[in-house]
């Protein structure tokens, strides 16, 4: 057995990672393969594994090693593997040891109960049945916040779990900029007249959809050696270990949303796939934050997958597979239909422009809830009013409103903003890639996506969690998070052209 403290730390962290990855695999199995009867036993197994992983990580031995390693950290270059691993682990450790295990357990239990109540409450559009659970979750978040040094804003503590080091004030500034420009843009697009997208609903054999999704993913970089694609109602990506990227997609027989879901999850998968293999089994071995992660799913789904050049390449193939649906629809009609901007009620079905306003509504309400400016009982009315104000839609029922997402049931307050931050970051990185690679349209039209994947791999994916999200973005793009490129992109792509 080795005596070097750095090697001892690595060994401990590898064990934590193995336990966490085992839990990841159990969750994947639960959502993809497990018959429903297994749920109680699986909850027990997951509870034990995550408790062991947590205990292993917050052990005093790790704290002691981190102290011992201060000298090594200072003597190594900031960018070195050693300094980065010690720095990132110390940050994770300090956060993890601040929260008493009883509170962690209580939050997990409350979330499980809330999730169980949320499903039927959404089904019956019965907010009252869900209200006490959300009140408990908000109350528990207050206790969680109290574990940390007093922040500038209460919400900072919640946000930090998903977007480390990001401050509420900065997100507010970015989102206010989006709101100011997107609300009028949506009105402008609305006045230009309705785009026909009726042909996007029809009958699309799920087996064919899966094959097409795989065909696209393979073009992007998916290989059978390291990736899988399965089917679930709610698409997701997970990785139980290096060289093992698991995507799921939702094969709905009456539309083609699975193709975009597959491209979206491919983007998440590509990011994890590209992390430096030397970071495996350490806290550096994954994407840096939910926002940066989402920037990559949005890159492959929207910047690539909803581009003209992509469909110039792939639309003939789609017409060949679904001749009855698309035989009479030309490429331009199809392109406009998959980019249709239209205010709607449901976040996950929203287009590139209105999506951000769905997020801003949630971001604002979450802050009001956690700061006690809004009582949980008044949440549905506040939701409906804000949806009307920003998107001009009338919410017919809580199922189509405040109950639509599972995040608050799961206790994930502070998560939503990362979706819109991802949109913003995606275009910053994209513009930087184009500066190096030149125009990619010709390559996309020929079905060649390798240059883009390689650029993202070398400049972003490989960094893993070595730096903070903001440092990572600055290293890749040369600037801090900035909404201007994204707003310019939306306007150029989607604003009505003067006749
Ligand atoms: Zn995503």
Tell me the pLDDT tens digit for each residue of 253-264: 999 999 999 999
Q: How far is the CA of 265 from the centre of ligand 1 (A)?
A: 7
Which letter, b or e, does each residue of 47-64 get, where b requires 16 or more Cβ atoms within 10 Å of its Cβ? Answer: eebbebbbebbbeeebee
Report the top-level CATH class of 168-494. Answer: mainly alpha
Residue-wise pLDDT for 164-222, tens only, equals 999 999 999 999 999 999 999 999 999 988 899 999 999 999 999 999 999 999 999 99
Secondary structure of residue 249 in the 3-state scheme: strand
Worst-scoring range by mean pLDDT, 109-118, 330-339, 350-359? 109-118
Q: How far is the CA of 190 from the centre of ligand 1 (A)?
A: 27
Give the mean model confidence (pLDDT) for residues 273-295: 98
Higher pLDDT, 234 or 446: 446
Predicted confidence at residue 212, as pLDDT, reads 98
CA of 149 to the centre of ligand 1 (A): 31
**Looking at residue 499, what is its pLDDT?**
58
Residue 422 CA to ligand 1 centre (angstroms):
9
Q: Helix-strand-coil percent breakdown of the chain, rounded to 5?
A: 65, 5, 30
Catalytic positions, please?
265
Cα 293 to middle of ligand 1, angstroms: 7
Among residues 247, 292, 299, which one has the least CA distance to residue 422?
A: 292
Average pLDDT over residues 415-441: 97
**Distance, CA 9 to ligand 1 centroid (Å)?**
32
The domains of the chain are located at 4-150, 168-494
């Amino acid at each position: 057995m080795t005596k070097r403290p750095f090697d001892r730390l690595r060994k401990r962290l590898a064990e934590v990672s193995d336990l966490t990855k085992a839990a990841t695999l159990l969750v994947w199995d639960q959502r993809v393969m497990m018959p429903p009867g297994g749920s109680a036993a699986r909850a027990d197994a997951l509870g034990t594994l995550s408790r062991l992983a947590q205990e292993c990580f917050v052990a005093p031995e790790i704290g002691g090693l981190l102290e011992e390693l201060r000298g090594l950290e200072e003597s190594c270059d900031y960018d070195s593997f050693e300094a980065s691993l010690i720095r990132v682990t110390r940050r994770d450790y300090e956060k993890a040891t601040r929260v008493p295990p009883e509170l962690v357990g209580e939050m997990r239990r409350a979330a499980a109960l809330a999730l169980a109540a949320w499903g039927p409450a959404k089904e019956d559009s019965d907010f009252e049945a869900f209200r006490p659970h959300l009140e408990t979750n908000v109350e528990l978040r207050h206790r969680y916040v109290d574990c940390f040094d007093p922040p500038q804003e209460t919400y900072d503590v919640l946000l930090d779990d998903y977007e480390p080091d990001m401050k509420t004030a900065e997100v507010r500034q970015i989102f206010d900029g989006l709101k100011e420009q997107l609300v009028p843009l949506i009105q402008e697009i609305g006045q230009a007249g309705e785009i026909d997208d009726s042909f996007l609903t029809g009958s699309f054999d799920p087996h064919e959809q899966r094959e097409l999704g795989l065909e696209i993913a393979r073009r992007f970089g998916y290989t059978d050696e390291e990736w899988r694609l399965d089917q679930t109602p709610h698409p997701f990506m997970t990785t139980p270990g290096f060289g093992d990227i698991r995507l799921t997609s939702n094969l709905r027989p009456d539309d083609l949303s699975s193709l975009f879901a597959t491209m979206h999850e491919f983007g998440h998968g590509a990011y994890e796939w590209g992390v430096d293999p030397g970071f495996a089994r350490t806290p550096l071995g994954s994407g840096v934050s939910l926002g940066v992660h989402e920037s990559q799913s949005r890159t492959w789904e929207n910047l690539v997958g909803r581009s003209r050049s992509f469909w110039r390449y792939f639309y003939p193939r789609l017409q060949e597979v679904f001749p009855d649906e698309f035989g009479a629809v030309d490429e331009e009609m199809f392109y406009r239909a998959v980019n249709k901007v239209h205010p709607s009620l449901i976040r996950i079905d929203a287009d590139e422009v209105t999506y951000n306003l769905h997020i801003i509504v949630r971001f604002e309400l979450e802050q009001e809830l956690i700061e006690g400016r809004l009582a949980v009982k008044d949440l549905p009315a506040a939701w409906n009013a804000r949806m009307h104000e920003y998107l001009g839609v009338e919410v017919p029922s809580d199922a189509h409103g405040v109950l639509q997402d599972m995040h608050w049931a799961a206790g994930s307050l502070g998560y939503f903003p990362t979706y819109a931050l991802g949109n913003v970051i995606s275009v910053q990185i994209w513009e930087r890639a184009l500066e190096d690679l030149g125009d990619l349209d010709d390559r996309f039209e020929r079905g060649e996506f390798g240059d883009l994947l390689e650029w993202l791999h070398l400049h972003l994916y490989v960094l893993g969690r070595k730096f903070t999200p903001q440092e990572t973005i600055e290293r890749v793009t040369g600037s801090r998070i900035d909404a201007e490129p994204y707003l310019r992109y939306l306007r150029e792509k989607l604003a009505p052209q003067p006749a």
